[in-house]
Structure 1
Amino acid sequence: MAGVKDVARLAGVSVATVSRVLNDSAAVTEPTRARVLAAVAELGYRPNAVARSLRTDATRTIGLIIGDILNPFFTELARAVEDEARTLGYSVVIGNADERPDRQDHYVRTLLEQRVDGLLLCPTAEITPLVRDMVAGGEPLVFLDRTLPGLEVPTVRADGAEAINELVGHLRTLGHRRLAFISGPALLSTGRERTAAFVAALGEHGLAVREDYLEAGDFQAASGRASAARLLDLGEPPEVIVAGDNLMALGALDEIRARGLRIPADVGLASYDDLPWFTHLDPPLTAIAQPVQALGRRSVRALIERVAGQDVGSVVLSARLVVRRSCGEPPFKEGSGPA
């Protein structure tokens, strides 16, 4: 990878002049500016703004870039990060990527310009050059909730495979055999992992994997509703719909109610991700709860350790199944007491 010295050598100028050109200083003649920019283009040089910004005096500030601020999971996660950071004497500046790589990079650059000490990033599906630069430069960066293939970055995330397996076993115990899943985007690690875990759980519990029962959503309510509509229109609709996140579960719930169907008598519904007010639905919604508070706390501590120059490993926490009544209740057995 070409460096600033290579650009200076090719353009026949000093490193300081290259820096002035790249920073759009007026103290450079136009012919010199043209030579430097031509050298930059020829060498494919990309200024490492990441290194320049993070190698400064500590500001006791960290940046957090999340996927979607309207998603209750990310809202709670941001609060957990802020609470832990404040406890440790840090402030948090938050950016909402809205699941778009360009917005993610906009906030990365903005936060670096504000001289944050390090970044917590819930990465979008695309590996952008800016993020790759941060990783290559070994700068204080921790991924939160998601991973990116091929990038060695300390990550704090939840593993829901065991909870999904437990959910499928629970549904089978209730007598359900036709189980459908609405997944998140396959480009996101969370979308891939939850789908793979669901398919594996079906096999482990001796249930059929039907392609028409696997719907691809985008972690948004509209996709949950559209996917639920397609599933319910099948000649043999599923007995239970499992949504890959809380917003898609709400979209599926809207579609079920719009059709006048009863939960769980006509179709069961479960969600990956729990919400406090799921308990207030009628019936309350079965869900897989992520350890959101612990994710926030551990990610902040991991990042601060990286800022201090310590080696940091990835952290994987376990999600857990919360059984409620939206998929049915076990049959009453004589002699058993109330649940």
Structure 2
Amino acid sequence: MSSIYQVAEMAGVSVATVSRVINERGYVSEKTRLKVQEAINILHYTPNQAAQSLTTSSTKLIGLLVPDINNPVFLEQSKGINDYLKEKGYILMYAESGEDDEEMSNMVRRFLSNRVDGMILCSRDFTQFGDMDAIIEPALKNNVHVVLNGYVDSKFEIDRVGFDNVRGAYLATEHLLKMGHSSIALIAGTDSTISEERYRGYREAHIDNHVSLNPALVVKGDFRQHSGYEAMLKILQMNPRPTAVFAMNDVMAIGAMMALEDHKVSVPDEIAVAGFDDIIWCSLIRPRLTSVVQPKYEIGKKLAEFLLSRMNESYSGPGRHEIFGSRLAVRQSTVKSEQQ
């Protein structure tokens, strides 16, 4: 097995220079860097990760905390994060918080005990936690940068990546209104900023299209499939029955469509259904589900990009907040055959 000393000897440089090239720290001329890289390739030299971490204070580990790793939205975001970090030589350490502030705090401390270089924290809604600053402060005190995938009011200069929930819900509701539906039921999520924003889009689309809102058409869910199913059963009991349903996420929309299938109600001929997030299932179920497209993979990549730019000090300014735009993917669940 080759050593760092052999690499230095072949390249005609010092061991310290080889270390700077490997760890991308300190100045090395391009000519010298190429010589060192060539020696590494010829000798098939692989740096010892443990030894590297001791000498550079870097483990190349990034902690990723998500509420539910099985949720399709977080799965796709995680892929974007992992692909970006892997290309830069980092390894992801996954953990689940279950949307519990105590568990999130515990996992942040566990990440720190594993000496991660940075953290990406994901949640459906950070505002549900009592004090996010108290959760992230231990990391920042240890000079470990943190980025978040949503809105949080913080005293720290935290980078955040979000999505235009208001616009997304507006597009879905406006589409249903333009398809001739004036009675659109809403399957809402848990009390959260995301739910508030998506309700705002639903409400504003009604106002802008001069259609009156009926509070009785809003049925509470919890973003899970079963709650979508149960909400749809309540909607089916309404008199008069709505002709369209907008669910605040695709998982609830699919639950609603299952209830309609069980009760032999045709989609979209009797009730049109639209969802939110554009998870992979939208194109697999029949009829295919109309949904607001959230660029989950791209959001993940941006989170990773923000984090690394803090870690390598290419950016040290105020907290950044990037909001991704939305569009609607119109599919069979909202378009009758004669409207196609």
TM-score band w.r.t. shorter chain:
0.7 to 0.9
SS of equivalent to 1:86: helix
- 1:156 is matched with 161
| Residues 81-138 of structure 1 deviation map (CA, whole Å, 9 limit, x = unaligned) | 1111101111111111122222222211111111111111114521346425358758
- 2:177 is matched with 172
SS of equivalent to 1:326: helix
Q: Judging changes above 3 Å, is the alpha-carbon distance between structure 1 residues 87 and 136 closer, same or farther for their aligned structure 2 residues?
A: closer
Distance 1:170 1:268 in 2: 11
- TM-score normalised according to structure 2 size: 0.75
1:177 Cα deviation from its structure 2 partner: 0.5
SS of equivalent to 2:200: helix
Distance 2:80 2:231 in 1: 32
Of 291, 296, 301, 1:287 maps to: 291
* 1:25-174 → structure 2 map (5 Å cutoff): 57-123=57-123, 124=126, 125-128=128-131, 130-131=134-135, 133-134=137-138, 137=141, 139-144=144-149, 146-150=150-154, 153-174=158-179
- 1:203 and 2:207 equivalent? yes
* 1:202-241 → structure 2 map (5 Å cutoff): 202-241=206-245
- 2:326 is matched with 319
Counterpart residue identity of residue 275, structure 1: I
1:330 Cα deviation from its structure 2 partner: 8.0
Distance 1:182 1:150 in 2: 31
Q: Judging changes above 3 Å, is the alpha-carbon distance between structure 1 residues 237 and 151 closer, same or farther for their aligned structure 2 residues?
A: farther
- TM-score normalised according to structure 1 size: 0.75
| Residues 134-153 of structure 1 deviation map (CA, whole Å, 9 limit, x = unaligned) | 58758511111x22245553
Aligned residues: 276
- Which has the larger displacement, 295-304 or 273-282? 273-282
SS of equivalent to 1:321: strand
Distance 1:130 1:118 in 2: 17
Distance 2:210 2:67 in 1: 36
Distance 1:262 1:229 in 2: 14
Counterpart residue identity of residue 162, structure 1: R
> Structure 2: where are the runs of 5+ without partners?
1-55
- 1:302 is matched with 306
1:180 Cα deviation from its structure 2 partner: 1.5
Distance 1:165 1:94 in 2: 34
* 1:250-269 → structure 2 map (5 Å cutoff): 250-269=254-273
Contact 2:169/2:199, CA 8 A, preserved across alignment: no
Distance 1:150 1:182 in 2: 31
1:184 Cα deviation from its structure 2 partner: 1.8
Distance 1:116 1:166 in 2: 40
> Structure 1: where are the runs of 5+ without partners?
1-55, 333-338
